[in-house]
Structure 1
């Protein structure tokens, strides 16, 4: 009888193992198909954009102002406006995001209720839709602080959008620093700030810079928050300061897609190609910086 029950138990165990293996293979196949579907759709979209826009992409397109004539339309003011906005976003978000991450990981009491609430809210803010940040920017920066519909208002709004992403990325990079390195620095008589400056930040720099540049890339592709705060769809001049009105590449592309003439749709595709090149360049810079600092650490 014992042998019979042992055989039955072994047979049931084998059935469960076979069932788990089948479910594992099914899940693996489903995820593979989802990945292939996403890649194929992305490839189709890229091919369509390239076919529509390459013929319209030339030097004059990059150096001309927007126009109501598609043959004369260009990206000059939108490109310069994007540089203005992203430059200010970097100046605002980098010190605030990295400084917040350093405070949370190195100075804050991680067992306190304040730390737990702050960490939870930062994680939640990273998933808030960008439109909500646009409404916040409109209420605070445009109306309350009276920045107007300016570059500074747009940069401050986008900084709020990417700050949670930068903070989380910087926190993870700082957590990766081995405790033995910090303890060794303390043993040599370094203060906490000297340890952060000479040990923690250099070791965490690859992860921090990667997170910051990827967050800036996201900000560069955002249009909804800037539309809400009142970024212009047509700017026939270059901005001269942070309080000038502005437009950026995504908004200019969006404006062209709304035109009824089919030629403007080709112009919009050319603008998408330029935006893709800029974003890929930013991601390439992130990879180069990460590899460079990683080699220095090794």
Structure 2
């Protein structure tokens, strides 16, 4: 048998691994901030792209990302929370339920590009939606479902059984107990999982690559039945596929910085919800 490491060695090992990961993160963020800060301005955020995206701003990409995230939330959040409530509160503990839970966990590990190909086959071609915002939003909704179901079910499990029994003991039905007692108690955990999942979806490129995103749109971006611009794909094109990569490199760093700020704000919202809930407790 292997000898157990002393607590001091375990602590220093954990500290070293954490510091190593954080050092890489700090270097990457420092490089993005230094090279992208000069590009970041109010005009860059609010202006339309011009001259084949070699000049101007990224407003359509920002509005497209925000709209796409909202569509994803409308698709994934109600369905994901509903599935989690059924699995945790109503479904019997049998082989079928365990199989469903195992399938959900497996879906969480499927590469995002597979979801993109599935969305292309189902929504773009099969349902005739074409490359559009709604097709991309539905695809990202499917990608987000396993995460929302898992985090919501975990939040529901944290509510003691005595809470449910107390509600039932005063005459509430099971539905009323879930609606008025269990869900409000689990809401901070549910919202934290939802926000973190949506922040991940906002940074995805592969699923929207096949379903509706475009690099350069001269008109408005954000209608559900049209192609749209989005920050992650825009960054990918500026960094790797543009005909004047050196010329647009500052725009690429500025776009990356804006995308990181958007994702950071979403994650900060999740942390604030968790912090506020812990203080209330």
Structure 1 residue aligned with 2:71: 88
Is the CA contact 2:135–2:212 (under 8 Å) kept in the aligned structure 1?
A: no
Structure 1 stretch displaced more, 287-296 or 126-135: 287-296
Check whether the contact 1:81–1:238 (CA below 8 A) recurs between aligned residues: no
> Taking structure 1 as reference, are residues 293 and 198 closer, same or farther at Cα in structure 2, changes over 3 Å only?
farther
Change over 3 Å in CA distance of 1:84–1:70 after alignment to 2: closer
After superposing the two structures, state which structure 1 stretch, 29-38 or 191-200, moved more.
29-38
Match of 1:43 in 2: 26
Structure with the greater alpha carbon radius of gyration: 1
Mapped pair 1:56 → 2:39 = yes
Unaligned runs of 5+ in 2: none
Residue in 2 that maps onto 1:155: 137
**Partner Cα separation in structure 1 for residue 237 and residue 50 of structure 2:** 11
SS at 1:88's partner residue? Answer: helix
2:119 aligns to what?
Answer: 137
TM-score, normalization: structure 2? Answer: 0.93
Matches within 5 A, 1:256-275: 256-258=238-240, 259=242, 260-275=244-259
Aligned residues: 279
Which residue of structure 2 lines up, in the alignment, with residue 289 of structure 1?
A: 273
Cα contact 1:80–1:238 (8 A) shared by 2: no
Q: Is the 8 A contact 2:132 2:228 kept in 1?
A: yes
The Cα of 1:293 is off from its aligned counterpart by 4.4
Contact 2:63 2:222 in 1 (8 A): no
In the TM superposition, what is the alpha-carbon distance from 1:21 to its structure 2 partner? Answer: 3.0
- Cα deviations across residues 144-183 of structure 1 (Å, max 9, x unaligned)? 0111100000100101111100000000000001111110
Q: Select between 62-71 and 281-290 the one with higher mean Cα deviation.
A: 62-71
**Alpha carbon RMSD of aligned pairs, Å?**
1.9
TM-score w.r.t. structure 1 length? Answer: 0.88
Q: Deviations over 1:115-136 (max 9, x none)?
A: 0110110010011110110011
Structure 1: unaligned runs, 5 residues or longer: 1-15
Contact between 2:46 and 2:57, CA under 8 Å: does it hold in 1? yes
> Which residue of structure 1 aligns with residue 163 of structure 2?
181
Q: Which moves more between the two structures, 284-293 or 216-225?
A: 284-293
